[in-house]
Structure 1
Amino acid sequence: MKITYDPEVDVLRILFSDLPIEESDEEKPGVIFDYDRDGNIVGLEILDASVRIDNPRSVEYSIPTRSQIF
């Protein structure tokens, strides 16, 4: 997974896969999903990220322990 933020265009991009993007759909205004040829989500773009997210430059990553899942 790769997360990038471009402050010049104010876009936050999350890539879940390196597969080529075959199609993109703006599911809701300012939220674009990218799909591979099989229709799987490979990426997500958030336009005007600084307006929609408290701090688009900050990333928190966590993996729950087994006890937190169950």
Structure 2
Amino acid sequence: MKLKVDRQADALYLTLSEAPSSRSEEVSPGIIVDYDDQDRIVGIEVLYLSKRAPEADIQRLLFETVPEVA
């Protein structure tokens, strides 16, 4: 999984798979989901990042894994 922030494009892209994208769908204004040829999600793009999260410090990202519930 990779997370890329493009300041010039004011966008964030989350890569979930290295599989090539065969189609894209804008599921909400400025939120684009990329799918492979088997309709699995391979990436998610968030446009207008500075407007959506104006207080976000994109230099400092925190990842948290939620423990499994048995």
* Equivalent in the alignment of 2:56: 55
In structure 1, list runs of 5 or more residues that go unmatched: none
Say if 1:56 and 1:32 are closer, same or farther in 2 by CA, change over 3 A.
farther
- TM-score, normalised with respect to structure 2: 0.86
Q: Hey, which bits of structure 1, 4+ residues long, moved more than 3 A?
A: none
Aligned partners of 1:4 and 1:12 also within 8 Å: yes
After superposition, the C-alpha distances for 1:12-64 in whole angstroms (9 at most, x for unaligned) are 00000000000001111000000000001110000001111241613211123
In structure 2, list runs of 5 or more residues that go unmatched: none
User: For this pair of structures, how many residues does the alignment match?
Assistant: 68
SS of equivalent residue, structure 2 residue 46: strand
Say if 1:50 and 1:56 are closer, same or farther in 2 by CA, change over 3 A.
farther
Aligned partners of 1:50 and 1:56 also within 8 Å: no
Equivalent-residue separation in structure 2 for 1:35 and 1:3 (angstroms): 17
